[in-house]
A and B are shown apart, each in its own frame.
Chain A
């Protein structure tokens, strides 16, 4: 089955800095890669996703890049703000049929004012 590795497990940045979280996956058939944000005590919520026919996708301060050859994808957050502090999860699936999502173990991002 699919295996998703996520790094780093914790990331501390100063407000205004950029943050990058990286994930690798094992199944070359995977072609859908969402990112979820989970604030303390809350449910995970989708913040951005990318499909294998796209190399990069941006939404305001967040962007995701995908390298299918190397089987890795990354989340980039620019101009970080304290409200960006949360746990971020990457995930992968084959994106077809009733494929299930396999999640990474999460990255705790701490943004200091």
Chain B
């Protein structure tokens, strides 16, 4: 199993551009989530999904959209990038409905918005 994969690894955008960060998992996990990591701020939840067709907002959802059309994929969309969205983005998944299931992280995407 590849586990949780993310593409791209690095991305530079200009203010106002849009892009999609890709996340996929091959473990048939129900629960997937997106975090952003900023220096000194820890990991903050952006959006999460408990299954195909179901998404919800986390702590810092503004400026980001998500959808979950399949169990495997959970893309994160930036509609109009801003410098404040410069960060490292991690996708994560866990097996099911129990928060005590181990959460596995992807390798991350480092995004710079100029």
Contact = CB atoms under 8 A, between A and B. Distances in A.
Contacts of A103: 35, 42-44
A95 B40 contact: no
Contacts of A100: 33, 45, 48, 58, 99
Main secondary structure, interface of A, reads loop
B84 interface: no
A51 B97 contact: no
User: How many interface residues does chain B have, given as a range?
Assistant: 20 to 34
A49 B90 CA distance: 20
A100 B98 CA distance: 10
A103 B37 CA distance: 11
B99 A43 contact: no
A89 B58 CA distance: 18
B100 A97 contact: no
B50 interface: yes
Contacts of B106: 43
Contacts, number: 57
Interface in B53-110: 58-59, 90, 97-100, 102-103, 105-108
Given A43-B106, A43-B108, A105-B40, A95 B98 contact: yes
A27 to B, nearest CB: 13
Contacts of A1: 59
B99 A94 contact: yes
A102 B33 CA distance: 12
A89 B43 contact: yes
Contacts of B48: 98, 100
A99 B102 CA distance: 13
Contacts of A44: 43, 90, 105
A99 B99 contact: yes
Interface of A: 1, 6, 9, 32, 34, 42-46, 49, 51, 89, 93-106
